[in-house]
Structures are given as structure tokens and as C-alpha cells.
Amino acid sequence: MSDVATTNDGTGHEPGRQAVKANTAIKRLGPALAVFAGFLVVWYGLAALLGEPKRAAILPYPHTVLTDVWPTTVDCGEFLCLTGGGPSGVQPSQLLAATALTLAVAVVGLILALALGIGCAVVMSQYVTIERGFYPYAIILQAVPILTLVPLFGLLFGFGVLSRIIVVVIISIFPVITNTLFGLGSVDEAHHDLFSLYNASKWDRLTKLQFPAALPAMVVGFQIASGLAVTGAIVGGLFFQRGPRDLGNRILLYSSRLRPGEMVAAVILSSLIGVVFFQFFGWVGNRVGHHRLEQNKP
């Protein structure tokens, strides 16, 4: 007799497998959805307590965030035509263009931060003198408030995309350096002795021993850096009031004009970019871990 029962559709799946998957999904998503629902309740409650006219100028209802930026329609005869933005006249395309620019700045800056951070960490891990000479300045760079450097970058490199990318690199490179350096130095001494026994070169030791051991710590550093990259892109836009309009510019503009609905929409879009970055590197970490498990199987 077979150990696996046959279902009614003849597929041979274990009974209750779909129910188990559904329960697993509920356990994973249920708490997050419950917290989100509670957040919306608190939001609605605070907005109701404010009352008019404070609510319109400070904290609108969640549903009005959509109506403020949703395109209105007019009758164009036989068809309905999309016009303008919401009641405030904001064009949804403006927010989408600002989101695209912020995303591009964050991606380019993050890629540069990853490349420079990994390169610096590799060099410092191979040469103790270089680590002792440069690592303190990496700490100082992280300790300096980035807001004090933003005006300087604007004066040196202008108020365009280049300065914003530099802000992203500086604000996100430190976790890449520290986590990569920690991972490269966390290899067990016995493994180093084994490579020394076989007269392995520095390159073989780095690529076949240190990098595989450092990957988990590196992925964590990448996740931290991805969130900081979005923060750097927004900060650059907030302070560079000239140049192309990104989400930082939009948030500042909507705040000065007392348009909280559009401002909240811009904040939500910037948060979504950070969530996408974080989830991407989480997926990369899971794939790397799964690949290492497959390699270690006998």
C-alpha cells in the first residue's frame, strides 16, 4: 500500500497539502496585515480627532491620499478623458517621474557603494597596515552628519544628479565595508591552516575560502545599505532644491504648500523603493544560502 494517499483529482498529492500551504501563508502574512489594519485605524482616529481645517493641512484620511493624486475625468463626448490630477491639480505623472528619478539615483549610488565598499574591504582584509590606516577614516565618514556635507557637495558638483549619487554612496558605503570586512575575517583558523598546508595563493584563499564564508554577513550589509541608499536619495532631493525634481523635492514642495495628501503619497512611494531593495537582497541571501546547502550535500 502506498504511503501517499491519492486525492480525488488523482494527482497523488498528500492530503491537506493545500490547507497546510494556506495556513503557512496566513501565519506569515497574518501578523503583518493585522498590524497594518491597526495602523490604518490609528491613522483614521488621529485624522478624525484633528477635525477641519487641521485635518486638511496636517493629516488627511488615508483614502484622501489616493483621491488627492488620482486623475479626474471629464466627458469628451463618446469617451471619458483623463485630465489633470486630483482636486489639488497634482499630476500623477509628476509623482511617477519623481519616483523614477529617485529610484535611478538610489540604484546607481547603491551599485557604486557596493563596488567601492567590497573593494575597500577586500584590500583592508589582505593588508593589515592599510586597514589600520584607512578604517578609522571610514568610521569618521560615517560619524559625520550627512546633512552637513550636502551643501558642500552642491557647491562642488552642482545641484544635479551627480551630487545626489555622491550623497547616496557616502551614506550607504559604511555597512558594506564593515560587514564585508567582518565576514572576510570570520573564517576559522583551521580552514586557513588547511589552505596554507596546500600552499594556496592569496587569490584562491580569498575566492574559495573567505568570500563564501563572508556572504551571509555581506548580504546583511547590503540590506542595510539598500535602505540607507533610499534615505540618501531623499535627503539629496530635500536639500538640493534646484535641479531635477525627485521625491525629495516633491516632499519639500508639498510640505511648503500645505498639501499633506500628496506629501504622504510621496513618502509611501519612497518607502516602497526601500522595501523592494530590502526584499531583493533578502531573496539574494536566500538563494545564496540554498546554493551553499546544495553544494554541501553529500
The CATH number of the domain holding residue 142 is 1.10.3720.10
Structural domain includes residue 219: yes
Structural domain includes residue 220: yes
Structural domain includes residue 176: yes
Enclosing domain of residue 243: 92-296
Residue 90: CB atoms within 10 Å:
22
Q: Which residues pair with 82 in a beta bridge?
A: 73
To the nearest 10°, the Cα dihedral for 185, 186, 189, 195? Answer: -70
CA distances from 245 to 154, 159, 161, 240, 268 (A): 15, 11, 10, 9, 17
Q: Which amino acid is at 95?
A: L
Structural domain includes residue 21: no
Structural domain includes residue 157: yes
Number of domains in the chain: 1
Structural domain includes residue 37: no
Question: pTM value?
Answer: 0.76
Beta-strand (E) ranges in the chain? 72-76, 79-83
Structural domain includes residue 44: no
- Give the three-class secondary structure for 187: coil
Low-confidence stretches of the chain (pLDDT < 70) are 1-16, 19-22, 56-57, 68-91, 241, 243, 289-298
Q: Give the contacts of 252 (CB within 8 A, at least 6 positions apart).
A: 237, 238, 241
Residue 94: CB atoms within 10 Å:
16
Residue 66: CB atoms within 10 Å:
12
CB 123, CB 132: distance < 8 Å: no
Structural domain includes residue 213: yes
pLDDT value of position 175: 92
